[in-house]
Amino acid sequence: MADGERRLLRSPAQVMRAARWSMQGLAACWRHESSFRLEVALFVVLAPLGLWLGQTMVERVLLVTSLLAVIAMEVINSALEAAVDRFGPERHELVGRAKDMGSAAVFVCMVNVVVTWGLLLVPRLWS
């Protein structure tokens, strides 16, 4: 465990600290990552649309969570890039590979959005 403890439950103070760190991470993404800002803007537009277009609760969940997955993966990719950049600006094959793989993970999540929305919504256009 990251905190070295084996307790199952956390105190309210520990939960609040973790939430604060999470908000700091989201704020850092917002400040430093234009891709994150774009993906959040798309979420703000598409999530209500997904809630409106989904005919069942399962469809609504799939449409919205596919968008959230992109944002989550962008946060992970940004963290990876920040950690790698910590060691300096010089180019290294493994650094490039790590950054490309992080970008690929975001891309796979974006493909998931297209597939999910397409499979759920395109058949309605043809019926």
In a domain, 20, yes or no: no
To 5 degrees, how large is the angle CA 23–CA 40–CA 35?
95
Per-residue model confidence (pLDDT) at position 77: 97
Q: What is the C-alpha to C-alpha distance for residues 36 and 16, in angstroms, rounded to an integer?
A: 24
In a domain, 2, yes or no: no
The domain of 105 spans 34-126
Residue 36 pLDDT more than 80?
Answer: yes
Per-residue model confidence (pLDDT) at position 90: 81
List the catalytic residue out of 74, 81, 90, 93: 74
Residue 6 pLDDT more than 70?
Answer: no
Q: Round the average pLDDT of the chain to a whole number and report it.
A: 93
In a domain, 78, yes or no: yes
Total count of domains within the chain? 1
Task: Mark whether 90 is an active-site residue.
Answer: no
Overall size of the chain counted in residues:
127
Mean pLDDT of 31-59: 97
